[in-house]
Amino acid sequence: MAPKHTLPGLPDRGRCLVMGVVNVTPDSFSDGGAWFDPERAIEHGLGLVGEGADIIDVGGESTRPGAQRVTSTEELRRVEPVVRELASRGVAVSVDTMRAEVAACAVEAGAVLVNDVSGGLADPEMARLVASSGVAYVLMHWRGHSHDMQSRAVYTDVVQEVLDELRDRMEAMIDAGVDPGQIVLDPGLGFSKRPDKAHNWALLQHLDRFRELGRPVLVAGSRKRFLSRLLGDAEGQDRPFVGCDAATAAVTTLAADRGAWAVRVHDVRPNADAVRVAAAWSDGGAHLDEGRAEPMGRGGL
């Protein structure tokens, strides 16, 4: 198991946390705009909490391969009301954004975590915002925007290169004023990682290597193409994304057992079950009563 890390504003369950995804977008790969309406997004977020999510990650810009960027105004219009309402209901909310302006508004609305898939590279003001706000910050391995990121997936040693690039970005953020205790690292499964080259599987196999950096690790493999490719049929057709939820739960169990701080998932309940199984497995059931007493979601929602 990885060393224990406590992050500002975020729950400490004594196990791997579950981050539920709410995409307030019309074009995300996993749900095709099912939660684009703010009221439906809020309802969905509350439902995920009821299924066992510890954190709700709200995003207003698709980062699927090939996606084009939206304006900051549109991104804010999508996420701000959802973040504000969920936070007002006692939910630990993360905002999934590469823009400091959006992150600042979301933090003002109650977000306690900024999940930046660019690791601070897309917006030079992000480090200043994170440092001044004091919120927790997910720094992901990133080599470029969605429209061309797969062309950048060229590695000699994917594990070592991702590790080195994450270390460089973390040091840059710290030099810019971010407290190391705010930082969560994400190896960036699916981002500039080719499913046909097994880049993602190599990173998962060597997840324990990321402990070298001394920070908690987020694993975000839910419904991604490396799973759909693995589960494809004999004719070479990848399995549809929504058919990969059982495989996602398997990855969650293994990642939790390897010491992941949190997993980011679309289908919460089986993954909430998976982290509890991993916790009981790792300690031989020493804390079963604590796990049983833990509520699925939060009272008062």
- Tell me the catalytic residues: 224, 264
Nearest to 301 by CA among 24, 48, 95: 48
Q: State how far the Cα of 277 lies from the Cα of 275, in Å rounded to an integer.
A: 5
CB < 8 Å & 24+ apart, contacts of 80-83: 80/105, 80/106, 80/109, 81/38, 81/42, 82/22, 82/24, 82/38, 82/41, 82/42, 82/45, 82/58, 83/58, 83/109, 83/110, 83/111
Contact criterion met (CB below 8 Å) for 226 and 209: no
Contact criterion met (CB below 8 Å) for 22 and 264: no
The owner of tokens 């070298």 is 212
Q: State how far the Cα of 93 lies from the Cα of 246, in Å rounded to an integer.
A: 25
Q: State how far the Cα of 194 lies from the Cα of 224, in Å rounded to an integer.
A: 11
Q: State how far the Cα of 210 lies from the Cα of 202, in Å rounded to an integer.
A: 12
Nearest to 178 by CA among 122, 118, 114: 114
SS3 call for 258 = coil
SS3 call for 218 = strand
Q: Outline where 134-211 has alpha helix (H).
A: 158-175, 199-205
Question: Hey, what are 195's tokens?
Answer: 């499913």
